[in-house]
Amino acid sequence: VIPGWFSEISPMWPGEAHSLKVEKILFQQKSKYQDVMVFQSSTYGKVLILDGVIQVTERDECAYREMITHLPLCSIPNPKKVLVIGGGDGGVLCEVSRHSSVEQIDICEIDAMVVDVSKQHFPDLAVGFQDPRVTLHIGDGVAYLNAVPEGTYDAIIVDSSDPIGPAQELFEKPFFQSVAKALRPGGVVCTQAESIWLHMHIIENIVANCRQIFKGSINYAWTTVPTYPSGVIGFMLCSTEGPAVDFKHPVNPLDENEDHSKAKGPLKFYNPEIHSAAFCLPSFAKRRLNGK
Ligand code: AAT
């Protein structure tokens, strides 16, 4: 450990640790669920850390939040009811609210401290909570989903932390089963699905479970986020049986239906070309995920 630097050390990426130079620690407290820390870095803006793992940096969070939101929402026509699990910083909510077709946005975040800390230190993300379509539920995403009536949502976005800690169950088969039940026919889910460089075994397990559960399309996509382990992070996209969804060819381009009333500023990362490109996998990953 280098003095004055934050190093992201975890058994999920043994033998390596990305480091950021710390200018100042702005918040540090233990919540009911995890250690919460915010610091000012010298090159990535403010950084949110949960249990020693980087969740958000001001500089590169756009790549993650835009992709995890618009990959699913631009793949179906007229999404109306959207559920976000995790995502207590509010960044994903900002992106969902760009979609003018959306009428209802529910979010279930387990840790109220994440929401409070975001309101205090990441106002540009927490502004997502101000959209009148948003309802915040504080609680476990697993329990929340089990109580949702069948067929409720057009899209579910699982913006969850890694499977060590409170998010563990969000990577397990029963969770994907309740996601499928909560979606309408032809509804879509997009979940945070780790790195092709570090976590092929986790990804293979998610893909195997989803193949059994989702009778529509199943695709893995990825994007680059410099401060996430290995610099890339992926998403599992699935649709339920019903109207066919072709994730690789977006049918709902944002620029045509975008809600400009909130003056959010233009998208920084997502565009229709990068949407389709996100599903192109390196050969090693393609072989493993296609079972060849
Ligand atoms: N947009 C920021 C990126 C995240 S945040 C993940 C959020 O999921 C955290 O706020 C965490 O408190 C919440 N969370 C964890 N478990 C649950 C649960 N069971 N139910 C609801 N919310 C939960 C993800 C960063 C990925 C990091 C990659 N290394």
Q: Is 159 a catalytic residue?
A: yes
248-to-152, 228, 279 alpha-carbon distances in Å:
24, 24, 7
Indicate whether residue 108 lines ligand 1 (CB < 6 A).
yes
Q: What's the confidence (pLDDT) of residue 262?
A: 61
**Which candidate in 106, 140, 154, 159 is catalytic?**
159
Q: Residue 96 belongs to what H/E stretch? A: helix 91-96
Indicate whether residue 229 lines ligand 1 (CB < 6 A).
yes
Angle made by CA atoms 66, 138, 11, in degrees to the nearest 5 = 65
- One digit per residue, the tens of pLDDT, for the chain of length 292 reads 789 999 999 999 999 999 999 999 999 999 999 999 999 999 999 999 999 999 999 999 999 999 999 999 999 999 999 999 999 999 999 999 999 999 999 999 999 999 999 999 999 999 999 999 999 999 999 999 999 999 999 999 999 999 999 999 999 999 999 999 999 999 999 999 999 999 999 999 999 999 999 999 999 999 999 999 999 999 999 999 999 999 999 999 987 667 766 657 899 999 999 999 999 999 999 999 986 5
On whether the CB atoms of residues 290 and 264 are closer than 8 A, the answer is no
Q: How far is the CA of 112 from the centre of ligand 1 (A)?
A: 12
**Residue 218, token pair as written in the block:** 């199943």
Q: How far is the CA of 285 from the centre of ligand 1 (A)?
A: 25
116: CB partners within 8 A, 6+ apart: none
Select from 116, 160, 175 the residue to mutate for testing ligand 1; criterion: most ligand atoms less than 8 Å from CB. Answer: 160
Indicate whether residue 194 lines ligand 1 (CB < 6 A).
no
Q: How far is the CA of 200 from the centre of ligand 1 (A)?
A: 20
Q: What's the confidence (pLDDT) of residue 258?
A: 77
Could you tell me the pTM of the whole model? 0.97
Of all protein residues, whose CA lies closest to atom 13 belonging to ligand 1? Answer: 86
Query: How many other CB atoms sit within 10 Å of the CB of residue 11?
Result: 6
Q: What's the confidence (pLDDT) of residue 261?
A: 64
| Whole-angstrom distance, CA of residue 185 vs CA of residue 210 | 16
Q: What's the confidence (pLDDT) of residue 106?
A: 98
